[in-house]
Amino acid sequence: MNGDGSLEWLRREGRIVVVGASLAGLRAAETLREKGFAGSLTLIGDEPHAPYDRPPLSKQVLLGMTTADRTALPRRRDVDATWRLGVPATGLDMAARRVRLADGDEVPYDRLLIATGVRARPWPHEREAELDGVFVLRTRDDCAALARRLAEGPKRVFVIGAGFTGSEIASACRERGLPVTVAERGASPLVGALGGVVGAVAADLQQEHGVDLRCGVMVTALEGDATGRVRAAHLSDGATVETDVVVVSLGATRNTEWLAGSGLGAGPRGIACDAGCRAFDIRGIVTDDIYVAGDVARSPHPLFGYQFLSLEHWGNAVCQAEIAAHNMLSASADRLPHMWVPAFWSSQFGVNIKSVGVPSMGTEIVVSQGSLDSHRFVGVYGYQGRVIGAVSFDHARWLPFYQELIETTAPFPPPFHMVDRRPDGHRPLDADFPDPSVPTHGPTVTLSGYSPADRRMRFTPAR
Amino acid sequence: MTQSLLHQILDYANRADPYPLYEELRKTPVHHDEGGPYVIGTYYEIRSLLHDPRISSDASNLASTAGDPLAESSQGDSALPPSFLRLDPPEHDRLRRMTNRPFGPPHSPHRVDGMRPELHEIVTGLIDGIGDTDRIDLVEAVSYPFPVTVICRLLGVPREDEARFHSWADTIAASLDPDPDADPAERGKVAHDARMQLGMYLAGLIEERRKNPGDDMLSELATAKGPDGAMTTMELLSTAALLLIAGHETTVNLVTNGMLTLLRHPDVLRRLRAEPRLAVPLVEELLRYEPPVQLVPQRTTLADIEVHGVTIPKGASLWLVLASGNRDPKRFENPDRFDPDRRDNQHLGLGSGIHSCFGAPLARLEAQTALAELARRLENPRLLEDPPPYRQNAVLRGPRHLPIACDGIRP
């Protein structure tokens, strides 16, 4: 029972504002109602669409199995909210507890949840980025435009960046029979997230499926024709690839600019918050009325040395939104920590890829089940003698076991016999992650910031 | 004191209601009698063991079958190589993957759903044929013939052969359900003969399908051109036998247990009549509340593993009592309550991990179809015996007969 009764008042007639009307925003709103919040609820989103699901955009939609407008997120319950869609938030007045909108309106709140997520990092050369035929893939509209162009049967699709999204795009194009070139700055696809050992398997997969894969190169320029349509890409190794569609897949930028000057601890790497999703201000003081969830949040995880993790994962957005919503309505002793174990999946070139933990923190890898050659395996990542992550290629049903190993800080390499463990699967290899000080478009999981065990801060350039 | 718990669970006298024994079982995280199997009955432990790569399904990894009361009865298929149910990866994965190609997504996303009209037609026909409504044995009238007919159609057994096929399947199924009064040698011989005849029949059918493929599963398996190539005839026979046995022996019990549960919960039966879509969550709850596969006895450890402070040695026989995990109060609120509106119902009724029930989509659809139709058409149905007589089998548990009566059959 809250001493001053303010919590009771909040639940009954408070005003909660959620900025960001995507997965995390929607699930938070639903959870608030589920937990009995009866006050007013406002959801603010910069896109004009009701919340939709992103994973299908780079898969089913590009394959033509469904359309971008059929990806609306299923609703768990009625949220009875005021929706302000198509209107970006532009500012925050923490003292007055108001969110400013692009249309000049101001929305007052008693509790605020920030779930503004990330946006695609655009091609840095503005004029080239504006060429007809140059796309990014993050939103529903991006996807609809790209899907339309693919349906027209381009001569060649050129993908810049072989992270998960870039690789999925390449996969969809190959499945549709379109010629694809992929240019990757690193030594192999997925190298930032999974390291070079697994990256080599990903490279194999791409080549087997007819992708013209170019690794260790940068794109120096995109060239347009007289009508302003893209016609070629120039590479740092001197090569030129003729193409009529370019997809820029260089990772994401966190949507925090609107908070500049607000006093909230928000920056290019996200918004720092505590394990209960409460945002920090720039003085390092935790707020009591501002919460963060989803891709834009950066929170300490006890399993990974309390490092602040930013996770662009579907499951993380859902879990963090639920925790934030719960904590918003709870007295301090009833609050819950966000202890979700990172997990993500991808589907490309007919292979189901799943990961748990934080592979990119690993320095060594051991193939504990299956084999790299068969493209069906589980790779376990080790960090300072413990299991820190695992990835499976078409072997996902074993992953809960590896999650348990991570959760219990089991020793690395796992010493026991297992089904499908091959003789060479006992020898750890260097996981071969790129040097973090060398700029790449970055892993899906960004590790950064302060750790109680190691007080040095290491700056990892944003790109 | 706990010495006799496992024997009590296997004791036929407790077949009708093993749940109090499971409650007892859950008090010990790892139940082990000297020389016997290691028995696990709690939800989270079972779930994690089903995903544990240190657990093998391959009987050759057992240190010894001594002390395993089910060891002999589960080794019936000795004439054939082990089916993928009894194999580990990578062989398991290869065979299951090949079997899945003609059965489910991604290559055959419509196979099961496409059978919807046919399932409905088969159930309708069986209910039409019930006749005397003063005493119906639901097992004989509907829940037994239904899945056997379905598996015949799925595999592509010609209609005119279905009767012969039924009788072999009957005999083999009966051998999995030991009758304490029968002469074991005689029973063994009868089952062996049936297995041989069924094997010869299937081998003939496979040859026939290789020459004249149809769009049934056996044709597609026999002519497979996927990345894994084709199964050998022996592999194909093992797989077909597995689909046949696992595919109907379990669904019989699911439908029968379902009707029994509904007759014990008339309010739910009334609701199902009014809203047939309730069949979907209702079957999920049934799989939790009265799962046809009560326990998985075919697992062994590849290493010494620790479960809740107890070390289970390498090569030990491990039993996972799914039905007990399904009633674990640490996982399910009011676990002994039958509640078709239950949320977050991640039961163990179909297993989990790489061996999770292959036929699950079909079993679900069969049970949903049969129960919704029975609820709709039987007028004022009631149980004539409660509990009904059970089958001997403690693993695949279900009533041998389900005598019911009703006032008539609605059109």
Strand partners, B234: none
Say whether A398 and B51 touch across the interface (CB within 8 A).
yes
Does the CB of B55 have a partner CB in chain A at under 8 Å? yes
Whether A171 and chain B come into contact, CB under 8 Å, resolves to: no
Residue bearing the bigger pLDDT, B74 or A308: A308
The tokens of B114 are what?
């496409």
Which chain B positions have a beta carbon within 8 Å of A419's beta carbon? 53-56, 58, 88-89, 302
Ranges A73-82, A215-224, A415-424, B182-191: which has the least confidence = B182-191
Indicate if A219 and A242 belong to the same structural domain: yes
Task: Using an 8 Å CB-CB cutoff, list chain A residues near B88.
Answer: 419-420
How far apart (Å, rounded) are the C-alpha atoms in residues B84 and A112?
A: 53
Pairwise CA distance, residues B275 & B406, whole Å: 20
Please identify, among A203, A235, A251, the residue that sits at the C-terminal boundary of a domain.
A251
Lowest mean pLDDT among A92-96, A141-145, A155-159, A445-449: A445-449
Interchain contact, B89 vs A419, CB within 8 Å: yes
Residue B12 has a pLDDT of 93
Q: Please tell me the distance in Å from B337's CA to the nearest CA on chain A.
A: 24
End of a domain among A203, A231, A251? A251
Instruction: Please name every residue paired with B390 in a beta bridge, in sequence order, or none if there are none.
Output: B399
Selected for mutation to probe chain A from B57, B93, B95 (highest A CB count within 10 Å) is: B93
| pLDDT at site A280 | 96
pLDDT above 90: percentage of residues in chain B: 74
At A334-390, the pLDDT tens digits run 898 888 889 999 999 999 999 999 999 999 999 999 999 999 999 999 998 889 999
Cβ-defined contact of B303 to A416 (cutoff 8 Å): yes
Scan for tokens 């609605």, then name that residue.
Answer: B410
Mutate to test the interface with A, among B49, B50, B54, B60 (most CBs of A within 10 A): B54
Given a contact cutoff of 8 angstroms between Cβ atoms, the answer to whether A298 and A310 are in contact is: yes
Is A296 contained in some domain? Answer: yes
C-alpha B247/C-alpha B158 separation (Å) is: 18
In this predicted structure, the answer to whether residue A239 has a pLDDT above a threshold of 90 is yes
- Cβ-based contacts of A401 with chain B (< 8 Å): 48, 51-53
H helices present in A98-221, as ranges = 126-129, 140-151, 164-175, 191-208
Is A43 or B248 the better-scoring residue by pLDDT? A43
CB contact under 8 A, A421 and B53: yes
Min Cα–Cα distance to chain B from A397, Å: 5
CA distance, residue B235 to nearest chain A CA (Å):
20
Beta strands A82-85 and A429-430 are unpaired
Cβ A419–B303 below 8 Å, yes or no? no
Percentage of the residues of chain B whose pLDDT score is greater than 70: 94
- Domain presence at residue A463: no
Grade residue B313 by pLDDT with cuts at 50, 70 and 90.
Answer: very high
User: Most A CBs within 10 Å: which of B47, B52, B57, B91, as the mutation test of the A interface?
Assistant: B52
Rounded Cα–Cα distance for residues A371 and B337 (Å)? 46
Look at residue B132 in the predicted model and tell me its pLDDT.
Answer: 92
Question: Into how many domains does chain A fold?
Answer: 3
Where are any strands of DSSP class E within B71-168?
136-137
Does one domain contain both A423 and A359?
Answer: yes
* Interchain CB contact of A377 with B (< 8 Å): no
Q: Which domain holds residue A236?
A: 122-251
Local confidence band at A433 (pLDDT 50, 70, 90 cut-offs): confident
Q: Tens digit of pLDDT for each residue in B103-136?
A: 999 899 999 999 999 999 999 999 999 999 999 9
**Domain contains A442:** no
Whole-number pLDDT of residue B230: 87
Asked whether residue A42 is assigned to any structural domain, the reply reads: yes
- In-domain check, residue A441: no
Among residues A222, A251, A280, the one where a domain terminates is: A251
Lowest pLDDT segment from A217-221, B236-240, B378-382: B236-240
Q: What is the pLDDT of residues A290-348, one digit of tens each?
A: 999 999 999 998 778 778 999 999 999 999 999 999 999 999 988 988 888 899 999 99
Nearest chain A Cα distance for residue B243, angstroms: 22
Q: Left if phi > 0, otherwise alpha if psi is -120 to 50, otherwise beta: which for A433?
A: beta
Q: What is the rounded CA–CA span in Å between residue B4 and residue B10?
A: 10
Q: ipTM, 2 decimals?
A: 0.86
Give me the mean pLDDT over the A51-63 stretch. 94
CB proximity B54 to A under 8 Å: yes
E strands of A293-399, at which residues? Answer: 297-301, 307-311, 343-348, 351-357, 364-371, 376-383, 386-393
Say how many CB pairs under 8 Å bridge A and B.
54
**DSSP of B225-256:** -STT----HHHHHHHHHHHHHHHHHHHHHHHH
Same domain for A237 and A135: yes
In a domain? residue A96:
yes
What is the separation of C-alpha A150 from the centre of its chain, rounded to a whole number of angstroms? 24
For residues A203-212, average pLDDT: 98
Residues A245 and A206 in one domain: yes
Task: Indicate if the pLDDT at residue B307 is higher than 70.
Answer: yes
The C-alpha of A106 sits at a distance from chain B's nearest C-alpha, in angstroms, of: 39
Same domain, A107 and A144: no
To the nearest whole Å, the CA of B90 is away from the closest chain A CA by: 6
For residue A14, is pLDDT > 80?
yes
Q: Is the pLDDT of residue B368 over 70?
A: yes
Average pLDDT, chain B: 91
A398 contacts on B by Cβ (under 8 Å): 51, 53, 353-354
Are A267 and A216 within one domain?
A: no
Q: List all residues of chain A from 5 to 44 with a beta carbon under 8 Å from chain B.
A: none
Both A290 and A376 in a single domain? no
* DSSP-assigned letter for residue A18: E
Mean pLDDT lowest for which of A58-72, A81-95, A98-112? A58-72
Inter-chain residue contact B47 with A398, CB threshold 8 Å: no
One domain for residues A283 and A310: yes
Q: In which band, very low, low, confident or very high, does the pLDDT at A455 lie, cut at 50, 70 and 90?
A: very low
Residue B244 has pLDDT above 90, yes or no: no
Q: pLDDT tier at A409 (50, 70, 90 boundaries)?
A: confident
Q: How would residue B363 be classed by pLDDT, with cut points 50, 70 and 90?
A: very high
What token pair was written down for A253?
């930028």
Q: Which residue has the tokens 């001569």?
A: A155
- Assess whether A130 and A245 both reside in one domain: yes
Mutant choice from A77, A397, A403, A408 vs B, greatest count of B C-beta within 10 A = A397
- pLDDT for res B171: 83
Q: Where are the beta strands (DSSP E) in A134-274?
A: 134-136, 157-160, 180-184, 212-215, 219-224, 230-235, 240-242, 245-248, 252-254, 266-267, 270-272
Of B47, B51, B88, the CB nearest to A420: B88
Residue A134 in this model has a pLDDT that exceeds 70 = yes
Q: What is the dihedral of CA A256, A262, A263, A266, to 10 degrees?
A: 0
- pLDDT at position A175 is 96
Say yes or no to pLDDT of B67 above 90.
Answer: no
d(C-alpha A158, C-alpha A242), whole Å: 9
Banded pLDDT at B298 (limits 50, 70, 90):
confident
Could you tell me if B91 and A374 are in contact, meaning their C-beta atoms sit under 8 angstroms apart? no
Do residue A60 and residue A181 come from a single domain?
Answer: no
Q: How far is A311 from chain B (nearest CA, A)?
A: 25
Q: Best residue in A175, A347, A405, A419 to probe B by mutation, most B CBs within 10 Å?
A: A419
Residue A414's domain is classified under what CATH number?
A: 3.30.390.30
Ranges A122-131, B227-236, B242-251: which has the least confidence: B242-251
Among A320-329, A398-407, B164-173, B185-194, top mean pLDDT goes to: A320-329
Position A383 scores a pLDDT of 92
Is A323 part of any domain? yes
Token digits of residue A456? 């040095």
Q: Within an 8 Å CB–CB cutoff, is residue B309 touching chain A?
A: no
CATH number at residue A31: 3.50.50.60
The rounded mean pLDDT for chain A is 91
Sorted by where each starts, the structural domains of chain B and their CATH numbers stand as 5-74+86-409 (1.10.630.10)
Question: Could you tell me if A100 and A131 lie in one domain?
Answer: no
In a domain, residue A106? The reply is yes
**Same domain (yes/no): A143, A230:** yes
Q: What's residue A169's pLDDT?
A: 97
pLDDT of residue B324: 98
Environment class of B385 (CB within 10 Å of its CB; exposed 0-12, middle 13-18, buried 19+): exposed
**Residues near A1 by Cβ (< 8 Å), separated by ≥ 6?**
A331
3-state secondary structure A55-108: HHHHCCCCCCCCCHHHCECCCCCCCCCEEEECCCEEEEECCCCEEEECCCCEEE
The identity of residue B259, as a single letter, is M
Residue B2 has pLDDT above 70, yes or no: no
Which residues of chain A lie closer than 8 angstroms to B346, CB-CB?
none
Sequence-ordered list of residues with C-beta below 8 angstroms from that of B220, at least 6 positions apart, any chain: B101, B102, B213
Q: Please indicate if any CB of chain A lies within 8 Å of the CB of B74.
A: no
* Phi, psi angles (nearest 5°) of residue A12: -80, -50
